[in-house]
Amino acid sequence: VRWGVAFLKPVTWLAASLTAGILLADWIRPHPALPLAGLFFLLPVCLRWPRAAAGAALLCGVLLQSAHGTLGPGTLDRWAGETVRAVGRAEDAAEKRFALQVTEVDGTPARGRLSVYVRSGDLPPEGAAVAVRGRLSEFRGALRMTAAGIEVLRAPGLRPAAKLRALLDRTMRAGLPPHEAALLAGLLFGSREQLPPAWVDSFKRAGVYHVLAASGSNVRMILVVPLFLLARFDRRLGVLLVIPLALLYWALTAGEPSISRATVMVTIALLGTAIGRAADPLASLSAAVLLLLALDPGLLRNIGFQLSVGATAGILLLTGPLQKWLQERCRLPALLAVPVAVTLAAQAGAEPLMLYHFGQTSPVAPVANLPVGWILTFLVPAGCILLIPAILFPALLVLIKPGLWLLVRTVDLFAAIPGAFLYLPPLPWYGVLLWYGAMLLAVSPAIRLHRPAAAVVAAMALLSWSVAYAAPSGVLRVTFLDVGQGDAILLQAPDGSAMLIDAGPATEDGYDAGDRVVLPALRRAGVSRLHYAVLTHGHLDHAGGLPAVLQAMAPAAFWDAGGHQHPLPLGGRRPRAGEVLRLGGARVEVLGPPVVPLQGSRSDLNANSIVLRISYGETVFLLTGDLEPEGEEALLRSGQNLRADVLKVAHHGSPFSSTAPFLAAVRPRIAVISTGPNRFGHPGGDALGRLRSAGAAVYRTDLHGHVTVEGDGRRLRVRTARRPAPAPGTPLLRRPLVGAW
Ligand SMILES: [Zn+2]
Ligand SMILES: [Zn+2]
């Protein structure tokens, strides 16, 4: 059998197997003993049949990742919402904040990066070991903390690269206005802090955001000048002098994943040149992936790393054929065909990942990347060269200002084109695989008719989209979104109509669940149009995220129980109890609030929540907002049918709600609690006990992530984004074989 991909070197297979192993481990989260046992049996086989090494690499991936999950330091997310004492190294100090490279939280080893805001007092010296007290909160995927107290544990250690980087950062801030300094730091070293949001937005819209994240091509642009100079003397000596320079640059970017990838590749290529052997670029990309993932399997989750590898693979596989096609068929001159081919190839390699993770695409990107690339070819080396004398004379950096201005204007120009940037339903994971399969097929000369085959597979990748999203599902899907402490529930009717019930919290430290969780989840679920939005009551943990959602997606109708804690851009109608609505085959019945509002309860806003009973075929959902005992009692008194298979537990599982008589009337089989880190003690122990004794299987968004319940009219199926892991610190021997972390 000829596989037609014989041009792939063994190291590429090993890298792919290791990657697959890490992904597999993430999926089944096995006890490390499982892959260890597998390796024990497979290694002797490898000695006999070297090809079994791919299987061994897969098991190594599983082993590495599961060892990481069970023995490695916990990540910071665990403590989100809690007040903690975090210990780590202070870095990147600027104005009123610094970054803390965390090593320990409340005495437990932990790892992660934290933005620390300092309201008053001095910033700690960079590189110092410090302990910071404060509440950890999540904002736009990053963790941050406002320091209530800072204690310097140890003076700055000897970390020459960090010191040099701090010096260069100070130089850039001294020589340029703040925004330009932040932009230059992004272009040269990949730091994305302090960039004005409008610029970040433009770079994203134009599809050139990668240049702000220190793309791997920086390494080439920076080394080109020294390589050229040194090559004039002695090739080998030059090569050996340039490798340390590449490593220095890597250290200055604090190990940015795309730079790590590029540094390993460049080092392999340079060493190859030194011993007179040309390195195969695809093999050195594979070696870089193999090495970096073996050192840190967690890197695979880093989207920057994924995009960097994807784009590089695209360039290595497709540039040649594309260039040939552009020159021969489109009659482009070589001067233009080469950069166009490189940009298109990089785009082809990165696009499926962009679509999978963000559901975003920027159709102007292939064009925008050309002028941006040309500007950077001058700007990056010039910036590096200028930065050295600028340490003494910061004013010299003025020379680079026109270049930065030109870059921003160019990007703005492309970002302003209508349709420059589109949201699409995210590509499913099998679509990503098919896409890369098509890329490989397109360049596999050993297979007959490989081009038509590639076209067929590419068409399948595009088709996987419609399979996943376009077709009416025929099921009623209710997703309880993990928005932290609050509620946000997406209801997708069998014909695709969508209703959103609440949109999660907005907190004073800038977290907006609408922007951060609800809108991405809507896009991921393929919802491009909201037929109904419902606000059960005006508390901020339900209404906070709504303005962002209403702004992005104006719903056809908006139900609102009133009593807002902050203004909404759109007034809604208060539905009457007894009102019934047909939503694509599902029946939505309004059970509350009562016509005469309840008064004098624990919280009248909660007591008068909108309560919905949704039935589809034989299956029934009951959504109870933030009802407390008075509200539940009023529902019981109203004599309405409360029986339901799935109960959205009232008031985040508060100990006062979910009273025994109410649960006896509902008799839920599945109970979903929407909650997150909070100071109210939700969910309360006795409420959980009552739910369990009522016979309900309990799901919690704080433990399970998004909880999706699907009903085909007869049967129900529950899917959760996470499986609750054993508590951190559970001894290895007491962990289950599957789902061990
Ligand atoms: Zn609430
Ligand atoms: Zn409430």
300: left (phi over 0), alpha (psi -120 to 50) or beta: alpha
Cα of 631 vs centre of ligand 2, distance in Å, is 12
Give pLDDT, residue 728.
55
Name the average pLDDT for the chain: 87
| Three-state DSSP class for residue 698 | strand
pLDDT in tens, 35-72: 999 999 999 998 898 888 999 999 999 999 988 877 76
Cα of 409 vs centre of ligand 1, distance in Å, is 45
Give pLDDT, residue 695.
93
Closest CA to 86 of 98, 96, 69, 70: 98
2: pLDDT strictly greater than 70:
no
Give pLDDT, residue 509.
67
**Could you give the dihedral angle defined by the CA atoms of residues 727, 730, 734 and 738, in that order, rounded to the nearest 10 degrees?**
50
- Nearest ligand (C-alpha, residue 538): 2
- Nearest ligand (C-alpha, residue 608): 2
Give pLDDT, residue 197.
81
Question: Cα-flanking dihedrals φ and ψ of residue 113, to 5°?
Answer: -120, 140
Cα of 542 vs centre of ligand 1, distance in Å, is 6
Cα of 740 vs centre of ligand 2, distance in Å, is 36
- Nearest ligand (C-alpha, residue 680): 1
Report the C-alpha gap between 709 and 723 in whole angstroms: 15
Cα of 651 vs centre of ligand 2, distance in Å, is 7
Q: 3-state SS of the chain: helix, strand, coil percent to 5?
A: 50, 15, 35
569: pLDDT strictly greater than 70:
no
pLDDT in tens, 64-120: 998 887 776 656 767 776 788 999 988 777 667 888 888 888 887 777 778 888 877
Predicted structure pTM score: 0.84
- Nearest ligand (C-alpha, residue 648): 1
139: pLDDT strictly greater than 90:
no
Give pLDDT, residue 496.
85
Cα of 486 vs centre of ligand 2, distance in Å, is 8
Give pLDDT, residue 233.
74
662: pLDDT strictly greater than 60:
yes
Q: Confidence class of residue 474 from pLDDT cuts 50, 70 and 90?
A: confident
Cα of 605 vs centre of ligand 2, distance in Å, is 6
Averaged pLDDT for residues 22-39:
93
Q: Confidence class of residue 471 from pLDDT cuts 50, 70 and 90?
A: low
- Nearest ligand (C-alpha, residue 652): 1
353: pLDDT strictly greater than 80:
yes
Give pLDDT, residue 4.
46
- Nearest ligand (C-alpha, residue 565): 2
DSSP 114-146: EEEE-SSSPPPPTT-EEEEEEEEEEETTEEEEE
- Nearest ligand (C-alpha, residue 604): 2
- Give the residue, 135 or 327, on which the prediction is more confident: 327
- Nearest ligand (C-alpha, residue 542): 1
- Give the residue, 191 or 170, on which the prediction is more confident: 170
Query: Which residues have C-beta under 5 Å from ligand 1, the single-atom ion?
Result: 541, 626
Q: Confidence class of residue 1 from pLDDT cuts 50, 70 and 90?
A: very low
Question: Cα-flanking dihedrals φ and ψ of residue 142, to 5°?
Answer: -110, 155
Cα of 696 vs centre of ligand 2, distance in Å, is 23
Asked which of 11-25, 141-155, 545-559, 626-640 is least confident by mean pLDDT, the reply is 141-155
**Could you give the dihedral angle defined by the CA atoms of residues 659, 661, 665 and 669, in that order, rounded to the nearest 10 degrees?**
50
Cα of 565 vs centre of ligand 2, distance in Å, is 10
Give pLDDT, residue 528.
83
- Give the residue, 712 or 77, on which the prediction is more confident: 712
- Nearest ligand (C-alpha, residue 503): 1
Radius of gyration of the chain (CA): 28
